[in-house]
A and B are shown apart, each in its own frame.
Chain A
Amino acid sequence: MTLPVHDTADHIYATGLRNQWHPVVPSSFVTPGAMRKVTALGEQWLLFRRSDGTLSMLADRCPHRGAPLSLGKHLGDRVACWYHGVEVETDGTVSSVPGLPGCNLEGKKLVTSLPVREVGGAVLAYFGDERHPEPAELTLPEPLTDPEVDAILCYAEWNGPWRFAVENLLDPMHGAFLHHESHTMYNGDTTAKFRIRETDRGYFFEKTDQRGVNFDWVELCRTGVDWVDLTIPYPPSAGPGGPFGIVGMVCPVDEDRTGVFFWRYRRVRGWQRDTWRFLYKTLIEERHWQVLEQDRVMLEAMPADADQRENLYQHDLGVVRLRRMYRAEAVAQASPA
């Protein structure tokens, strides 16, 4: 049992596509031996970590009468509901009903438990619906697995629909305007022609006449989890290693809230890696943050129906392609098999 299949296409589009992996929160949000309540895809969940570090994710709903398990007690390898003490194991099985020993709830798997993986400091979970409980194959972004590449996660929570955050990433042209007063995107033309280039895992949306100057291209990758890859040049002050890249992922929290995950990465090793990390922590992270705040301020100020009354032009092809794809998938996931 996972997410219900009776959801409408509108609900799925608003709260995130099913049958794929999504990031949830940074790993550090759930310390060993702790529990944390989280919202994702419009539902309440409980992240539960054993003291040995093993992580599990359960629906935050007691199988007895629906109280939040997150108000309960961490018992090491299971959680006890606060309301009447029902105990649930990390795979969702009821292990004990203290008020009525031998009750037929015992031994039944009554709580949804999602497959989880921890990647680059973030928790990823597979959100299957009732027809697709088995986790989709997950291919991780190469910048997060390549030993030649060093990545540092930045996580933030924004008040806006998840799809606005993804659309923002498929819209490189905003770099030259919204981020014009930044340490990395002050350069390059404010006019451009774009093209879409299909790949076997998604598509590129890229300028045809400028590369390596500003935010000039982005690749949408659908590899079990949706993510984008892009690069932005660093000024010479950032030292060796060339441009920095971003792997971006988005958590659809609910209809109007989003968790954004940005791994800033660079092809550096040895002293070059150490020096980049030192500069990043000391000076660069804060500058990146100011750029990200520009995105947040703009996206949070967008009206909820912004995408209902638009006049699009050539720079918006990447967004149009994205919406068509997500829309079609939401419709397919909502319709009966």
Chain B
Amino acid sequence: MTTTWPYLDVHQSRTHEPTPYEYKLAATLEEVFTKEGHELADVVRGLNARQVHAPDGAPWTEESFRAEMNRLGA
């Protein structure tokens, strides 16, 4: 923990530098929210249509998307 003034830290909520997968997922989510809508079904459909899948390569389901967001966002 730094003790020098001033404390100016861009990233205070992160626990790690996002992985390439996390960056790609986040950027695609922004696009999906912009173009497809804000419902869970829109998000799952939008991600799958863009071929941006979970790390295991499987297409998203509502359950797997919820679980992944819980892991990455909690």
Q: How far is the CA of A37 from the CA of B30 in the complex (A)?
A: 42
Given contacts A235-B34, A236-B33, are A274 and B18 in contact (CB under 8 A)?
no
Instruction: Indicate if the CB atoms of A239 and B38 lie closer than 8 Å.
Output: yes
Q: How far is the CA of A36 from the CA of B7 in the complex (A)?
A: 14
Instruction: Indicate if the CB atoms of B69 and A275 lie closer than 8 Å.
Output: yes
| In-complex Cβ contact of A156 among B7, B11, B14, B23 (8 A) | B7
Instruction: Indicate if the CB atoms of A283 and B30 lie closer than 8 Å.
Output: yes
CB distance from B53 to the nearest CB of A (A): 16
Instruction: Indicate if the CB atoms of B72 and A274 lie closer than 8 Å.
Output: yes
CB distance from B14 to the nearest CB of A (A): 5
Binding-face segment, A88-96, A147-155, A188-196, A203-211: A147-155
What residues of chain B lie closer than 8 Å to A313, measured between beta carbons?
none
CB distance from A138 to the nearest CB of B (A): 24
Instruction: Indicate if the CB atoms of A31 and B1 lie closer than 8 Å.
Output: yes
Number of interface residues of B (CB under 8 A): 34
Instruction: Indicate if the CB atoms of A278 and B5 lie closer than 8 Å.
Output: no
Instruction: Indicate if the CB atoms of A271 and B69 lie closer than 8 Å.
Output: yes
Instruction: Indicate if the CB atoms of A282 and B23 lie closer than 8 Å.
Output: yes
Instruction: Indicate if the CB atoms of A281 and B14 lie closer than 8 Å.
Output: yes
A159 on the B face (CB < 8 A): yes
CB-contacts of A127-159 with B (<8 A)? 152-159
Chain A interface residue number, banded: 35 or more
CB distance from B66 to the nearest CB of A (A): 5
| In-complex Cβ contact of A282 among B3, B10, B18, B43 (8 A) | B18
B40 on the A face (CB < 8 A): yes
| In-complex Cβ contact of A257 among B5, B33, B69, B72 (8 A) | B5
Chain B, Cβ-Cβ closest to A271: B66
| In-complex Cβ contact of B10 among A28, A279, A289 (8 A) | A289
Given contacts A153-B12, A156-B8, A157-B8, are A282 and B26 in contact (CB under 8 A)?
yes
A199 on the B face (CB < 8 A): no
Instruction: Indicate if the CB atoms of A286 and B11 lie closer than 8 Å.
Output: yes
What residues of chain A lie closer than 8 Å to B43, measured between beta carbons?
239, 275
| In-complex Cβ contact of B6 among A159, A280, A286 (8 A) | A159
Chain A, Cβ-Cβ closest to B4: A157
CB-contacts of A216-249 with B (<8 A)? 235-240
Residue from A257, A278, A282 whose CB has the most chain B CB atoms within 10 Å: A282
Instruction: Indicate if the CB atoms of B70 and A274 lie closer than 8 Å.
Output: yes
Contact with A along B56-73 (1 / 0, CB 8 A): 000000000110011011
Q: How far is the CA of A296 from the CA of B43 in the complex (A)?
A: 37
Instruction: Indicate if the CB atoms of A285 and B66 lie closer than 8 Å.
Output: no
CB distance from B7 to the nearest CB of A (A): 5
Q: How far is the CA of A273 from the CA of B65 in the complex (A)?
A: 13
17 inter-chain pairs at a CB distance below 8 angstroms, sorted by A residue, are A37-B3, A152-B13, A156-B9, A157-B7, A236-B33, A239-B29, A239-B43, A257-B5, A274-B66, A274-B69, A274-B72, A275-B43, A279-B29, A280-B13, A283-B23, A285-B11, A289-B10
Interface residues of chain A, those whose CB is within 8 Å of chain B, are: 28-29, 31, 36-37, 152-159, 235-240, 257, 270-271, 273-283, 285-286, 289, 296
